Amino acid sequence: MNPVTEIEIRDPDPPEGAPAGEASAALPESPYKNLLVPLVVVPALIVMVLVLVFALFGSIAGKEDSPRENLDRLLHGGANEREQAAFNLVRQVLDYRRAHAEGGAPEWDIDASFLPDLRAAHEQVGAPESAKDVPIPLVLSSLMAQLGDPEGVHQLIEMTRLPERADPDGSFRIDAVFTLGAIGRELAEPERAAAAAALIELLSSEDAGLVLASTASLQNLPGDEVRAALAGCLADSRVEIRLQAAISLVRLGDPAGIGVLREMIHPEPYRAEHDLDPRKWAPQRVSESRVKAVQALRELGEPIEPELLERWARDDPDSAIRALARELLEESPPTR
């Protein structure tokens, strides 16, 4: 089982120079539509971040319930109790996976023996009919999948196809996509192939957030079909999709995106898209994305021209690029 790490999920960038109130009103509907996913997508149980409210429920003190007690409260408690139980249950499974990956002793005995309870709970809550019905089955399916249950994987795949009435802004579908990506390399071949096919299908979605999440998550679902689908995204009109496809291909050991990466180490593509849509590509995000493109080229062993590195180290207005250029120059000093 792969180590489980955490991911930072930030709000999309507001338009440059916009007042705070106007910035909020101008943001894309989906919380992911303006997010460039990190190089390695391991969102652990990302539903914990989006469905539950850590600041409110994470500070509640007292005796901690067992996983089975939390599962019972998740199904039968009041609204606050269900959210607290869901948070605790997700955290307990996450702690179990981390301890298992690191060879330590988990605090709670959570393994395949817990799966029948999760399956029974999922059957009890039934299929969601509206958005308010989605969080609990999404958490249960995610937990089942994280514990190696093929049934949970297929439930998550079905949740990538939720109808609009149950997921009007696409965020639950994106949660399911990210969770499939997080466990992609752990899946048996039939489930891996089914998950990959579902995410490849989403690459043609009209929802840019779903496309971006799928492009990122496919990096953990290796296969010829996946590489071909990601290669097709390298010609996408959207900068973030092209760059994420190139990065995901790097994670799959495929150099097909080198041309895109070389384009994206420069500020011009971001500037051009920002001119068309001021909501996109605030300076900090341009910096992060250029750095990711440089790091991806580095991972491929693709050199950057010493003259360019020297110019960056001396003149680039971005301090992160200047620092990275100096680091690369120290690794491979230019010949005179």
pLDDT digits (tens, 9 = 90+) for 119-178: 999 998 888 888 888 888 888 998 899 888 999 999 999 999 999 999 998 888 988 998
* pLDDT number for residue 192: 97
- Cα 25–Cα 30–Cα 34 angle in degrees, nearest 5: 85
pLDDT band (50, 70, 90) for residue 12: very low
CA distance 37 to 216: 6
pLDDT at residue 8 is higher than 70: no
For residue 21, is pLDDT > 70?
Answer: no
Dig out the tokens for 199 from the structure. 């995410």
Least Cα distance to 180 among 214, 147, 226, 209 occurs for 214
Residue range 303-327, pLDDT digits in tens: 999 999 999 999 999 999 999 999 9
Give the tokens for residue 58: 């994470």
Structure tokens at 128: 């969601």
Structure tokens at 164: 């609009």
Lowest-confidence pick of 104-108, 160-164, 286-290: 104-108
Question: In percent, how much of the chain has pLDDT > 70?
Answer: 80
Q: Which residues contact 105 (CB under 8 A, 6 or more apart)?
A: 99
- What single letter denotes the amino acid at residue 165? R
Residue 13, pLDDT above cutoff 50: no
**CA 304 to chain CA mean position, Å:** 28
pLDDT per position as a tens digit, 231-269? 999 999 999 999 999 999 999 999 999 999 999 999 999
CA distances (Å), origin 177, targets 56, 203, 253, 276, 278: 26, 11, 22, 29, 28
More confident position, 304 or 96: 304
302-310 — which CB contacts under 8 Å span 24+ positions?
302/255, 302/258, 302/261, 302/262, 303/332, 304/265, 304/328, 306/332, 306/334, 306/335, 307/334, 309/334, 310/334
CA pair distance 256, 254, nearest whole angstrom: 6
Confidence of residue 74 (pLDDT cuts 50, 70, 90): confident
